[in-house]
Structure 1
Amino acid sequence: MLFIKTNSTMRAPSLLAVLIVLVLFSLQPDAAAASRVHHHRFGREKLTTLHFYLHDTLSGKDPTAVLVAHGANATSRPGDPTPFGSVYATDDVLTEGPERASRVVGSAQGLYVSSGKDGRLSLVMGMDFEFSDYNGSSFVVFSRNPVTVEHRELAVVGGRGKFRMARGFAVLRTHYLDTGNGDAIIEYNVTLLHY
């Protein structure tokens, strides 16, 4: 039996104190076992960098981004194709170079919301970037995109296939933006850590 010494006398601890100590010790993970399972199940962590261009087209007969909801009290700048509160569904083309005729490397599907109420174009994006060169593997971005900032960084929050459990970041630069119709070509430099 466990005894606690107080003022040179010994007494039995309360049952509650013993139970708390036992529970706390049982909650401690076995670091060696966790490491073995982690290593065997997923292998070694890899680093992959990707460079591509996203073509987001709101205009024309075959747009890749379509308005699906409009904020009830949307405020916008004159001629703004993406007023505050607007939600767009996307199926954007990803290419090797900035020209639309360059080799297609994948697609980006998801949603973005126009979130810049203060007059600056800003989006919150949730998109899945899938790549044909990686057997349909993808990574996911969920982040704020301040479109008017020259170089901006978005968070990579997950992935699947060859990019399983991806985390990292994407540095974006606007290659082309038509402020009249919202069409854009965005350069992506992505750094992924994944299994």
Structure 2
Amino acid sequence: MADSWAKAINADNEISPEVIDKWFQENIKHHEAKPKLAKLHFFAHEEVTADHPTNLLIAPANTGNIASTQFGSTYVLDAPLTSGSDPTSKLVGRMQGSVSYVGQAEPVLSVSVHFVFTQGEYKDSSLCVLARNPISQKYRELPVLGGTGAFRLARGTAVGNTFTVDSEKLNAVVEFHVVVRHY
């Protein structure tokens, strides 16, 4: 599946405007290219209170009225993605980006994250998610708005589900089912 991606890298393993242009010329000719479908399943391990946190508060809310929703707080994250729910499962990538609590009446995140794949078929590729994430709901639909590498021109959906949560320590494992079309 990722064969056309491998052809879009030059001999020095670099991406350049010329390499990207050539890829488009060879793969997206007059909208005749056939999209591929990828279905992915993985888990993100988010830890706020660990010795080496994966989610770091960078902008606390500037109000005293945030007890239930954290409205106004912003975190950056760099959390491992694994093939299973156990943190010792096979590492497949990282979830990197930022989240801000934007709901006043309920805990809602504004999410800007990248699923960066470091192993397997999609190594050195990423997916970009920009979404509203109402974290109190069991399942949340998050749009995939693009990607890099094997996921160039990706469009699709990531469904998030809080698999486990430790409310006291603010640590969670989030399960993702992702379906994307890409070229």
TM-score norm. by structure 2 comes to 0.79
Q: Deviations over 1:19-43 (max 9, x none)?
A: xxxxxxxxxxxxxxxx84333xxx3
Cross-structure match for 1:127 = 113
Cross-structure match for 1:60 = 50
Q: Using the TM superposition, give the Cα deviation of residue 176 of structure 1 relative to its aligned residue in structure 2, in angstroms.
A: 0.7
Residue of 74, 77, 84 corresponding to 1:90? 77
Aligned length: 154
Residue of 104, 107, 115 corresponding to 2:102? 115
Cross-structure match for 1:161 = 149
Spell out structure 1 runs of 4+ moving beyond 6 A: none
Partner of 2:97: helix, strand, or coil?
strand
Aligned-partner residue type, residue 35 of structure 2:
E
Alpha-carbon separation, structure 2, partners of 1:74 and 1:99? 36
Q: Counting helix residues as a fraction of each chain, which structure ranks higher?
A: 1
Cross-structure match for 2:9 = none
The answer to whether the Cα contact below 8 Å between 1:159 and 1:166 also exists between their aligned partners in 2 is yes
The 5 Å alignment of 1:11-50 reads: 36-39=29-32, 43-50=33-40
Alpha-carbon separation, structure 2, partners of 1:191 and 1:174? 18
Aligned-partner residue type, residue 123 of structure 1:
L
Q: Deviations over 1:133-183 (max 9, x none)?
A: 212101000001111101111111110100001111011111111122221
Aligned-partner residue type, residue 75 of structure 1:
N
Alpha-carbon separation, structure 2, partners of 1:162 and 1:36? 17
The answer to whether the Cα contact below 8 Å between 1:74 and 1:83 also exists between their aligned partners in 2 is no
C-alpha RMSD over aligned residues: 1.5
Alpha-carbon separation, structure 1, partners of 2:82 and 2:128? 17
Residue of 124, 127, 138 corresponding to 1:139? 127
Larger radius of gyration: 1
Alpha-carbon separation, structure 2, partners of 1:75 and 1:46? 47
Partner of 2:31: helix, strand, or coil?
helix
TM-score norm. by structure 1 comes to 0.75
Q: Using the TM superposition, give the Cα deviation of residue 70 of structure 1 relative to its aligned residue in structure 2, in angstroms.
A: 1.7
Alpha-carbon separation, structure 1, partners of 2:65 and 2:151? 39
Alpha-carbon separation, structure 2, partners of 1:36 and 1:93? 37
Unpaired segments ≥5 residues, structure 1: 1-34
Alpha-carbon separation, structure 2, partners of 1:165 and 1:74? 43
Is residue 193 from structure 1 mapped to residue 181 from structure 2 by the alignment? Answer: yes
